Chains A and B, each alone.
Chain A
Amino acid sequence: MSRPGFVLEVDDRTPPLVVHEGLGFRLESFPQGTRVVYPPESLPAIDDVDTAIREALLNPVDADPLPTKLRAGMRLTIAFDDVSLPLPPMRAPDIRQRIIEAVLTMAADAGVDDVKIVAANALHRRMTAAELKHIVGERVFRSFFPQGDLTNHDAEDRDDLLHIGLTDKGEDVEINRRAAESDLLVYVNVNLVAMDGGHKSVPIGLASYKSLRHHHNPQTMVRSHSFMDHTKSHLHHSAWRMGRLLKDHLDIFQIETTLDQHVFGAPYDFLMKREWEWSVRDQASMLAMRRGLGAAPRRLRHRLFHDLRAPYGLTGIHAGDTEAVHERTIATVHRQQLVELQGQSDVLVMGVPYLGPYNVNSSMNPILATCMGLGYYFNSYRGQPVVRRGGAVILYHPLNEGFNQLHHPSYVDFYEEILAESTDPAVIGEKYERQFAEDPWYVHLYRTSHAYHGVHPFYMWYWAAHAMDHVSEVIWVGADRKVASRLGFRAASTLADALEMASGAVGTNPSISYLRNPPHLIADVSVPGQP
C-alpha cells in the first residue's frame, strides 16, 4: 500500500530535513510552520513487465494491434527518448530495451526488413555508443548499431529532415526524414514527469531548430503555466498543433510508460524516506555518506552520484493513438506525483540535486542548475505556482561545478558573454539566439562530437523565464557568490541569511514552502478565487 503525498507542517518534533545541493545534501532545520511537500510513495509496480508490454502492443488504445500494422516490405522506424530520461538512468534492463525488443520480435515475425532505430534527442547531445547500448540493450545494439541502423537524430542534417508543413498558427513542422517517410513510426517513451510524452515526443524529439524555435522561446515559456500541465502550457499547445498536423501525414504508434518513485537504491534509499521514519541504519547511512562526501574529492563525488542507477519499477504502459495514450499516462503520473496544497507561500525553497536532464554523465553547470531549480522544480505545479507573485525563491546548490567542455561548449560563451550583458530572457533571445543557433562551430560540434546544440543554453534560460517573471527574489544558499551574481541572483550562506535577504520582498515572517524532492512531485495548488 503506497501512502499519498502530504504536506508536513514543521513543528518542534520535526527532525532536520534533507535538502539536496549538487553533489551532496545537507540537513536543514526549517522554521516552525514551514510547509514541506512530500511526494507520494511508489505505486505498486507491475510484476510481469514483458506480459504488460505484450498486452499493450496487442490491445492498443484507439489503434489497431501492432502486429496488424507490420508487413513485409514496409519501412519501420522506432524512435525512443534519449539519455535525458529517466533520471537517474534506469538500472538495466531499461524499459525502452524491453519494449523495443518486443516490437522487433513482432516485426521479425511479420518479415519486416527495413527497420531503423533513432534516438529522439532533438538538440541534445549525441549519445555515446555506451549510452545507446545501456538504453536499447546489448541485443538490439549489436543488431543495429554496427550497421548504422541505430543512430542519434541529427537536427542539422538537411538531407535527413523533411518539412511537413505549417500549422494553422504558421508554425513549421520539420522532423527527421526517415521517420516522416516511414510506413509506421513507433515511439517508445518514458514519461517520468507530466510534461513528457504526448505530442512532445515526435514533433519535438525528432525536430529541427526551425521547428523548435516556435515554442522554445521566452514568450511561449512565460505563458506556460505550467510545463507540467499540458492543458495550460503554451509550449505544449504548440506541440499539440504540430502533432495533429503530423498525424495526417504519418502513422505514429505511441508507446508510453510510467515509472514509480524508486529513484535511489540501497544504501541511499534513506534519501527518499520521510526523515522522522529513518531507522538507526538510515541515520548511520546518512552520517556515513555525509562524512564520505566531505572527505572525497569532487571527481570522486561526481562519480559516486553519476554512477547511481535507479531501481525504477514500471507502473503503467499504454500504446496506440498518441492523445488517447497520453491521457491515460498523465492519469498515472498524477496518481504517482500529485500532492494537494492549499494556498501559495511567500517563499519557495528547493534543493537542486546533482542531476538534471541535460547533465547525465556530465556536470551541472550554473545555467543547468538554474534551469533545474527555476525551470523544472518551480514549474512542478498545477493550478497556481507554489509561491505567490512577487515572492522569493530560495535554492540550494553550490554553483561550483564549472562547465563540461565536451558537452556544453556553447554554455561557456553564453555564461561569459551573454549573461555578462543581460539576464533578461527576452532581451538575450532577441539579440543573440539566432547567432548561437547558426554558429558553424557549434553546429559542427553538435553533429560530430557530443555537444549540445549552440542554442541549447538559451532554451535552458527560457525554461526559467516564467519563474523569473513571477518572483522578485532568487537566492542561492551555499552558492559561489560571483557565479550567482553573474546569473543575476544573490547568494547566502545559510537559510536564515537567505530569509533575511528576502525580507525586503516578503517581510520578516514569511510563509515558507519546501518541495521535498526528488522523488518527483507536482504540487496541485488551489487558491480560493483563482482557477
Chain B
Amino acid sequence: MSWLRDGVSDVRRTADGWRWGRRSQVPRSAEPFVLAPQTTVFRTDWARRRPARIAREVTQKGALEPLLRSQVRARVEGLDVLAGLEGPVIFVANHASHLDTPLILLSLPDEWRRRTAVAAAADYFFDTWWRAVGSAVLFNTFPIERRGGTMATTPGEVLAEGWSLVIFPEGTRSTDGFVGRFQLGAAFLATKHGVPVVPIAHRGTFAAMPRGQGWPSPGRRRLTVRFGEPLRPRPDESPRDFGPRIKDAVAALLDEDRSTWWEARRRASAGATPDPAGPDVAPWRRVWEQTAPVTDPGSAEAPRAWSGRRS
C-alpha cells in the first residue's frame, strides 16, 4: 500500500516539478548553460495538402473559432482592403500573445484564411514532434529559424505555392504589450518575391493572455484587429527601406485603432504618429497601460439606449 502511495507521490512531484502539460522551464542561474537546441528539419508540406486542409477547416471552424469567441470579444476592421487584392500577400502584425495567430486567422475571410500559412519559430513550435504536428495542423505553420540556420521549407517556396503568409516581424512576443524592433524578414520576402504586405494592428491580446499565461483571462476581454492598406515595395526599394514603411503602417493602424482614422491620418501626415514602442517609463507603467481594457468611443463602448449609462 505504501508502495502505491509513494508511487502516486512520485508521479505528482514529477508532474509538478517538470510541469507536465506545460512548457518546461530552466532555472534562471542555469540559463547561460543551456545548450542550443538541435536543429531538426521538420517538413510541413503535408500540412498544406488536401487531407490536412480538411482537418484544419474542421478544427478551426468547429472548435477553435467557437472557443475563441467564448473567451474573447473580437472586433475586426478594415477587411475591405482585401477586396480587389489577389494573393499571395504577406500579413504583417505586431505580436503580443499566443492569441494573435488564431485571432488574425479567424478574422480573415474564409477564402483567404484557407490559403494562409503562418511562419512559426522553429525552436519554439517545432521543438517536439507533437507540438510541431499540432501547430501545423491547427494553424498551418511552417518553421523558420529565428537565429539563422537551415529550414526544410523556405517562406519563399510557400509563397511560390500561392500561399499567403502571416509573419510577426518582432520574432517573439512582446514582454509588455508594446511593439518591439521589427526584423527585416517580411520586407526581404516582399521585395524579393514582389508580393504586397498587408499591415495588421491588433490590441488587447497582451491584456487578455500575456506571456506565461496558458489561457485567456476570464471576462471575455475585448480585442481589436485592424487591417491596413496593402503596401507594395517600389521597384528599386531595398528591404532596409521597405521595413520601416511596414512598421510605420502598423504604428498608424494602432493609432487609428485608439483614436479615429482622420486623426491618425493627420498625425501621420505631420509625422506625429505615436511611437508604437511606447514611452520610456518604468516597466510597470508600460505593462499597466497595455493591460487597460481596450476602449473605442467610436462604436462598441458608446452608451446604448438600454444600458442606463450616460457619457
Contacts and interface: CB of A to CB of B under 8 A. Distances in A.
A8 B33 CA distance: 10
Interface stretch (A166-174, A282-290, A344-352, A398-406): A282-290
Interface stretch (A13-21, A307-315, A420-428, A438-446): A13-21
B300 interface: no
A527 interface: no
A296 to B, nearest CB: 11
A10 interface: yes
Given A278-B18, A283-B18, A295-B3, A9 B29 contact: yes
A170 B28 CA distance: 55
Contacts of B17: 15-16, 27, 29, 275
Interface stretch (B4-12, B230-238, B269-277): B4-12
A531 to B, nearest CB: 27
A3 B27 contact: no
A294 interface: yes
Given A6-B33, A294-B3, A294-B6, A14 B11 contact: no
Interface string B19-40: 0000011111110111100000
Contacts of A4: 33
B193 interface: no
A277 B25 CA distance: 9
Given A15-B18, A16-B17, A290 B30 contact: no
Contacts of A283: 14, 18
A9 B18 CA distance: 17
Contact of B26 (A13, A16, A290): A13
A271 interface: no
A6 B30 contact: yes
A276 B26 contact: yes
Contacts of B6: 290-291, 294
Contact of B13 (A8, A16, A294): A16
Contact of A11 (B3, B7, B28, B33): B28
Nearest to A10: B27
A275 B25 CA distance: 11
A99 B9 CA distance: 49
B27 A13 contact: yes
A335 interface: no
Given A276-B24, A291-B3, A294-B7, A11 B29 contact: yes
**Secondary structure of the B contact surface, majority rule:** helix
A27 B27 contact: no
B10 A287 contact: yes
A14 B24 CA distance: 10
A27 B10 contact: yes
Given A3-B35, A276-B25, A286 B14 contact: yes
A500 B192 CA distance: 68
B129 to A, nearest CB: 11
Nearest to B31: A13
B126 to A, nearest CB: 16
**Most-contacted residue by chain B among A15, A277, A290, A294 (CB, 10 A):** A15
A244 interface: no
B10 A290 contact: yes
Contact of B33 (A3, A13, A287): A3
Interface in A1-49: 3-4, 6-11, 13-16, 27, 29
B173 to A, nearest CB: 19
A220 to B, nearest CB: 38
B18 A13 contact: no
A11 B30 CA distance: 10
A343 to B, nearest CB: 15
Given A27-B17, A295-B3, A287 B30 contact: no
Contact of B29 (A3, A7, A277, A295): A7
A274 interface: yes
A323 to B, nearest CB: 35
Interface in B92-148: none
Contacts of B10: 27, 287, 290-291
A14 B18 CA distance: 9
Contact of A27 (B13, B32, B35): B13
Interface in A252-282: 274-278
A136 B3 CA distance: 43
Given A3-B35, A15-B17, A27-B13, A9 B27 contact: yes
Contacts of A15: 17-18
Contact of B28 (A3, A9, A274, A277): A9
Nearest to B7: A291
B13 A14 contact: no
Contacts of B33: 3-4, 6
A178 B263 CA distance: 101
A31 to B, nearest CB: 14
A13 B28 CA distance: 7
Nearest to A286: B14
Contact of B14 (A8, A14, A277, A287): A287
B186 to A, nearest CB: 33
Contacts of B3: 291, 294-295
B27 A8 contact: yes
A16 B26 CA distance: 12
B14 to A, nearest CB: 5
Contacts of A6: 29-30, 32-33
A274 B30 contact: yes
A16 B13 CA distance: 8
Contacts of B26: 13, 276-277
Contacts of B18: 15, 276, 278, 283
Contacts of A14: 27
Contacts of A10: 27
A335 to B, nearest CB: 17
A274 B35 CA distance: 12
A172 to B, nearest CB: 49
**Most-contacted residue by chain A among B13, B30, B35 (CB, 10 A):** B30
A294 B10 CA distance: 11
The 3 lowest CB-CB distance pairs between A and B, nearest first, are: A15-B17, A9-B29, A13-B25
Given A4-B33, A10-B27, A27-B13, 6 more contacts: A3-B33, A6-B29, A15-B18, A278-B18, A291-B6, A291-B10
19 contacts: A4-B33, A6-B33, A9-B29, A11-B27, A13-B27, A13-B28, A15-B17, A15-B18, A27-B10, A27-B13, A29-B17, A276-B18, A276-B24, A276-B25, A276-B27, A276-B30, A287-B11, A291-B3, A291-B10
